């Protein structure tokens, strides 16, 4: 296969004339999926703690349990999606449509528990939340894994793959931006209704977007086709990338879980200012993605991701110095950390698609890989909520705290712990991914070549 072969891939349509139509068609579903992620993973813990006075330790345990159930199911969902793809594109779209309906109903049930459940006491309320969360998260996973696997099946080289993922994640950030503003301005009811409309439009656009090739593409490596079809977790290339993804994802999930507590208690910002912090963060993340994609063409996916990690560490070290009333500095922190997170959104998925292609499994097992990928992402969020919230309570922090020791505990958890994890992720990325690529690209000296 020639070097120009990737031009024939469906992903090539995302570059050049008419690219915006193809990008919007595939990527639009990312908007409502990210829109719902903010209420599910960021607003929900704070909502139950503030509105229903749910104890942090008990709430953290419920969130951990529901998210672990969801995470464990993701690999099975991925394998099921592969079977749906093998059957027909219509089967994939139909399963996603049913799951989308369940997702919308589940979000409503979580944010607006029935009066009977609320009247029955805290145990009943948390049991309701845990059960509905498990169902809602599962429906979310079906739609999300199928959508990501579809994008990976479009193929392409590094630049093309990054464009496919960039369209999905850039529109996802628009969704998060809208979701960050709506709850505080128009209320949760309007938020859920808006989500249902956007989800319908996203599915409709996806059903008419660029479709993967009917037949699996041959791997570019002459040895890839001979590789056995192993479980993703038994593939060394996937293991290395997944290790980086987990470390980095946990570093990002902890601030996402604690940001509203930090804003309300450490900065003591008013509730009217909260949407501005979230909006700035996601706006700059969305604006940064085209710049990061351009950087990929020059530096490659892995090195560009490493730069984003370094930026995130520098920003959160600065955030640890902020205190009461530092509203403007924190807005700058939100902007810079948003730019940094652009790499987390646009690049790892493109790297995974490349790994699948190198292993010769494109067009066959994307669902299996993205199922485990989604499992790792959910595990990050589960650990962030299930460990960070109880640990905060253990060390004396409660929502509304104003004493110095409790606020310092919150600062360490929100700012410094993520920095440690980001540094570990950066070290793993360099050691496990970048250095092996450098060795593979460097020709052996003549004295070390093996005689033929």
Rounded Cα distance, 229 and 169, in Å: 29
Rounded Cα distance, 395 and 372, in Å: 33
- pLDDT given at position 442: 59
- pLDDT given at position 17: 58
Does the pLDDT at position 129 exceed 80? yes
DSSP state for residue 229 in the 8-state scheme: -
* DSSP, residue by residue, 351-364: HHHHHHHHTT-TTT
Per-residue pLDDT tens digits for 191-225: 888 889 999 999 998 888 777 765 444 444 444 44
Work out the end-to-end distance of the chain between its first and last CA atoms, rounded to an integer number of angstroms: 25
- pLDDT given at position 201: 92
**Residue 318 · residue 335 · CB < 8 Å:** no
Query: Closest Cα to residue 275, out of 191, 193, 194, 177?
Result: 177
Query: Closest Cα to residue 285, out of 181, 144, 430, 175?
Result: 175
Per-residue pLDDT tens digits for 11-25: 556 665 566 777 778
> Cα 426 from chain centroid?
18
Average pLDDT of span 257-269? 86
Lowest mean pLDDT among 205-214, 316-325, 365-374: 205-214
Residue with tokens 């006075």: 53
Per-residue pLDDT tens digits for 405-435: 888 888 888 888 899 999 999 999 999 988 8
Q: Where are the domains of the chain?
A: 20-215+226-438
- pLDDT given at position 404: 79
Mean of pLDDT over the chain: 80
**Residue 378 · residue 67 · CB < 8 Å:** yes
For domain 20-215+226-438, which CATH number applies: 2.40.10.10, 3.30.70.260, 1.10.3720.10, 1.20.1250.20? 1.20.1250.20
- pLDDT given at position 215: 47
Rounded Cα distance, 329 and 434, in Å: 34
Per-residue pLDDT tens digits for 10-59: 655 666 556 677 777 888 888 898 888 777 766 777 778 877 878 777 88
Rounded Cα distance, 386 and 155, in Å: 37
Rounded Cα distance, 302 and 436, in Å: 11
**Residue 376 · residue 162 · CB < 8 Å:** no
User: How confident is residue 444, by pLDDT bands cut at 50, 70 and 90?
Assistant: very low
> Cα 214 from chain centroid?
28
């Amino acid at each position: 296969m020639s070097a120009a072969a990737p031009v024939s891939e469906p992903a090539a349509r995302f570059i050049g004339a008419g690219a915006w139509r193809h990008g919007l068609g595939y990527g639009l579903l990312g908007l409502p999926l990210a829109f719902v992620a903010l209420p599910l993973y960021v607003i929900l813990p704070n909502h139950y703690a503030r509105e229903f006075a749910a104890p942090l330790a008990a709430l953290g345990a419920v969130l951990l349990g529901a998210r672990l159930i969801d995470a464990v199911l993701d690999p099975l969902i991925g394998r099921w999606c592969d079977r749906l793809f093998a059957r027909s594109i219509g089967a994939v779209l139909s399963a996603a449509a049913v799951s989308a309906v369940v997702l919308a109903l589940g979000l409503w049930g979580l944010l607006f528990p029935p009066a009977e459940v609320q009247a029955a006491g805290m145990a009943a309320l948390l049991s309701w939340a845990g059960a509905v969360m498990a169902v809602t998260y599962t429906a979310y996973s079906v739609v999300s894994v199928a959508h990501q696997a579809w994008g990976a099946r479009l193929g392409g080289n590094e630049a093309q793959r990054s464009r496919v993922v960039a369209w999905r994640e850039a529109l996802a950030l628009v969704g998060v931006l809208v979701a960050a503003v709506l709850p505080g301005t128009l209320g949760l009811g309007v938020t859920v209704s808006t989500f249902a409309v956007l989800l319908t439009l996203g599915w409709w656009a996806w059903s008419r977007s660029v479709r993967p090739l009917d037949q699996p593409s041959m791997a570019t490596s002459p040895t890839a086709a001979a590789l056995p079809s192993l479980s993703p977790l038994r593939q060394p290339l996937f293991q290395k990338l997944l290790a980086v993804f987990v470390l980095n994802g946990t570093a990002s999930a902890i601030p996402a879980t604690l940001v509203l507590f930090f804003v309300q208690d450490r900065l003591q910002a008013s509730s009217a200012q909260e949407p501005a912090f979230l909006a700035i963060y996601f706006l700059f993340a969305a604006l940064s993605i085209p710049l990061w994609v351009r950087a990929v063409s020059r530096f490659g996916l892995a090195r560009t991701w490493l730069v984003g990690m370094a930026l995130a560490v520098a920003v959160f070290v600065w955030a640890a110095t902020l205190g009461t009333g530092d509203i403007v500095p924190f807005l700058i922190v939100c902007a810079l950390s948003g730019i940094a997170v652009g790499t987390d959104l646009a690049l790892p998925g493109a790297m995974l698609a490349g790994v699948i292609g190198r292993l010769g499994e494109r067009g066959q097992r994307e669902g299996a890989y993205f199922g485990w990928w989604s499992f790792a992402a959910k595990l990050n969020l589960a650990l962030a909520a299930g460990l960070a919230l109880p640990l905060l309570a253990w060390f004396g922090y409660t929502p509304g705290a104003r004493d110095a020791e409790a606020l310092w505990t919150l600062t360490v958890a929100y700012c410094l712990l993520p920095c440690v994890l980001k540094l570990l992720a950066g070290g793993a990325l360099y050691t496990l991914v970048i250095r092996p690529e450098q060795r593979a690209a460097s020709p052996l000296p003549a004295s070390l070549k093996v005689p033929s």
